[in-house]
Amino acid sequence: MRTVLNILNFVLGGFFTTLSWLLATLISIVLVFTLPLTRSCWEITRLSLFPYGNEAVHVDELYPDEKNALLNAGGTLLNIFWVIFFGWWLCLAHIFSGIAQCLTIIGIPVGFANFKLAAIALWPVGRRVVSVEEAQAAREANARRRYR
């Protein structure tokens, strides 16, 4: 089912949103001062291409033992920088694509995936794209750790 939905996403506009993420990735590579954003761009490019079966999870959820206040503060500053330069137009691209996909009955599930990507587009630094199963396992391990 995931494969069918990923193909449907690609055909119904996911190709264009993936291209916009790829463009943002290339721009972040070319401009030296945006180089720290490149990994986040690439991670979300993968998620934009294959939104079903994958999930964007913050690194603090994946690796709770490696939390670092200084890195989190740096990530927040990079996210603010991201919103100003890239995030707003990528968010709008996902919103418009999601609205267009929801206008067709067959595109409604794909439209909802684009709305989730729109939220991620605003604040992507510090997120890693992992399988849904890996994200669920990380959440369960964090819950067990928290309640011991």
**39 in Cβ contact with 107 (< 8 Å):** no
Give just the sign of the alpha carbon dihedral 37, 43, 45, 51: negative
Report the pLDDT value the prediction gives residue 134, as an integer from 0 to 100: 92
Q: Which two tokens stand for residue 83?
A: 């919103």
Count of C-beta atoms within a 10 Å radius of residue 37: 24
Q: What is the pLDDT of residues 27-43, one digit of tens each?
A: 888 888 778 888 888 88
Average pLDDT over residues 136-142: 89
Report the pLDDT value the prediction gives residue 118, as an integer from 0 to 100: 92
Q: How buried is residue 60: exposed, middle or buried, by Cβ count under 10 Å (0-12/13-18/19+)?
A: middle
Number of domains forming the structure of the chain: 1
Residue 91 has pLDDT above 90, yes or no: yes
Residue 120 has pLDDT above 80, yes or no: yes
Residue 72 has pLDDT above 80, yes or no: no
Q: What is the mean pLDDT of the chain?
A: 87
Report the pLDDT value the prediction gives residue 102, as an integer from 0 to 100: 92
Report the pLDDT value the prediction gives residue 94, as an integer from 0 to 100: 92
**94 in Cβ contact with 67 (< 8 Å):** no
Residues spanned by the domain of 49? 1-147
pLDDT tier, 75 (very low <50, low <70, confident <90, very high otherwise): confident
Closest Cα to residue 8, out of 123, 113, 141?
Answer: 113
Residue 138 has pLDDT above 80, yes or no: yes
pLDDT tier, 59 (very low <50, low <70, confident <90, very high otherwise): confident
